Amino acid sequence: MSSAMQQRLFSTLLIFTLGIGVAGAQQPPSGDKGTIVKCLESETAGFGGQCIGIVADPCIKKAEGSQTDVKDKSACAARELAIWNSLLADALKQVKAGGFADVIKGVASSQTAWSQSMKALCPVFNKLEPGMLDGGAEYCSLQETARRALILRRVGEAVNEH
């Protein structure tokens, strides 16, 4: 695959990734991204998994029992999902900046499979009992996107070490 083709594929996937789960999502309060970034930068963050849900979970708990709790919980998840989409885009840019053609190609190819998997799996949660996963498809997308962002952050860090 030529460098120009890789560039186009990677750019297309980046644009596609930014659109996943964001349609109709509210813009998160500015402090929300800072909360997640601060968590990720903490000495105890490790991989960063404990930072997933740090914004959505308290919001979901607060929405519990309201007449619109299903809708409100989904909105809570969408609020954090927007942040993880941004962090995923940053991670993809960092991978690309590393300049390793085989790594860029592998990540671009895996993005297609990942996005297809998420688009097939997450809507299932809107067809189940609402209590099965508070926030439904949006929370599933939040979980999937956050984990993807975290793993690609590691790849980006590795290819930009030196």
118 touches 20 (CB < 8 A)? yes
Cα distance from N-terminal residue to C-terminal residue, the chain: 26
- Asked whether residue 10 carries a pLDDT value surpassing 60, the answer given is no
**80, 85, 92: which is closest to 152 by C-alpha?**
92
- Asked whether residue 131 carries a pLDDT value surpassing 50, the answer given is yes
Kindly list the domain boundaries of the chain, sorted by start residue: 29-159
Give residue-wise pLDDT tens across range 36-70: 999 999 977 689 999 999 999 999 999 998 999 99
Distance between CA atoms of 68 and 83, rounded to whole angstroms? 23
Q: What is the pLDDT of residue 17?
A: 47
- Asked whether residue 19 carries a pLDDT value surpassing 90, the answer given is no
Rounded average pLDDT over 114-128:
96
Rounded average pLDDT over 140-161:
96
